[in-house]
Amino acid sequence: MNTVLDITKEHCPMTFVKTKLALSKLEKGDRLEVLLTQGEPLDNVPRSCEEQGYRVISIEDMGQGIFKVTIEK
């Protein structure tokens, strides 16, 4: 199951807080697609997720400074 989380309007550290909260609601093996902006969110969210034991599947440039990070629980 894929769930989408749009945090393009959020700022650090809330970007990771909201991502971690969304991941906590998923079952093992489920994927979360996180829409975020370049800069700190793009640097911090994937790194923090990997540090927490989640798997970053892909990072896609969606254009206009928006990226989609797919994370597997």
Identify the structural domains of the chain with CATH numbers, from first to last: 2-72 (3.30.110.40)
Exactly one of 8, 12, 18, 44 is catalytic; name it: 12
CA distance 67 to 57: 13
Q: What is the pTM of this model?
A: 0.94
Q: Which of 11, 13, 14, 23 is nearest to 71 (CA)?
A: 23
Q: If you average pLDDT over residues 12-23, what whole number do you get? A: 95
pLDDT in tens, 27-72: 999 999 999 999 999 999 999 999 999 999 999 999 999 999 999 9
Q: Is 49 a catalytic residue?
A: no
Q: How far apart are CA 58 and CA 16, in angstroms?
A: 17
